[in-house]
A = this chain, B = another copy of it.
Amino acid sequence: MKDFAEFCHVVADRIHSAVSKNVRDNPLAIGTQVGMGADGTPTDLIDKIAEDEAMKAVKQSGLNMNVLSEEAGFVDKKAEYTLVLDPVDGTRNACRNLPFYCTSIAIGKASLSDVEYGLVMNIPSGDVYEAKKGNGAYLNGKKIKVREYEKESSLFSFVSGGIKKEFTERLLDMPHLRALGACALEMSLVASGALDGYLMFNPVARITDIAAGALLVKEAGGVLYNAKGEELNLPFDVKDRTSVIALSCKEIKKEFL
């Protein structure tokens, strides 16, 4: 697993360089649709550039692992471990140069519950959030944990759509509220204590969006549910979808579920 962690840093750095260069040099081109991803959503040029860079790194590493990626789908090498990759999470932000998007990389065997390593890199700032199962969560090498909940000063980030009417009104009455638009990075912010929770009520998250972020939340002391209030899980299948309620503590659950 040590090798895998080092390798994930290399992949993230290479994606970071390629994406930053293209956001700077080709801002109008990066949002061009260049195909359809294995997950059934359009592939923008920036997604393709980032994924090609990651695939090159996998090939050059010589490591024996399968890859599950938003665009390429499942590349089966009959290996024990699978690299679960979203090269650019928050593509809409990236394509507009709205500086909040990231790379999400995780390693596990078959489902969210067995993910052993996760890394999320904030591409505009270069910050790296990282978690190893049973070994805690880190931001740029410093240990992080979820925030102690104080209702009066709470801060949640949400995704529009699918919100029950009673929560809609509560949400919009909150003095402070966020909607940031990059799932893996928002889950990382729950882990680091920047947010008290991340609320995606519609089932639109894929395993590639949440594999790393979920481990970060758990290792930082947080809790994860789907919108039915069940424990969050998802198989390694790029076509499956789930809702995501990531919270700093289980006491918050009753406020939204």
Contacts and interface: CB of A to CB of B under 8 A. Distances in A.
Given A160-B176, A161-B175, A176-B181, A189 B98 contact: yes
Interface in A147-191: 147, 155, 157, 160-161, 163, 168-169, 171-181, 189
Contacts of A179: 157, 177-180
B100 A100 contact: yes
A99 B140 CA distance: 13
This chain: copies in complex: 2
B163 A193 contact: no
A135 to B, nearest CB: 21
Contacts of A155: 92, 96, 98
A231 interface: no
Contact of A99 (B98, B122, B176): B122
B181 A160 contact: no
Nearest to A158: B179
A97 B125 CA distance: 12
A63 B209 CA distance: 51
A161 B173 CA distance: 6
Interface in A97-151: 97-100, 122, 124-125, 127, 139-140, 147
A23 to B, nearest CB: 10
16 contacts: A24-B140, A92-B155, A93-B194, A96-B155, A97-B192, A97-B194, A98-B194, A98-B195, A122-B124, A124-B125, A157-B179, A160-B173, A161-B173, A168-B169, A176-B181, A178-B180
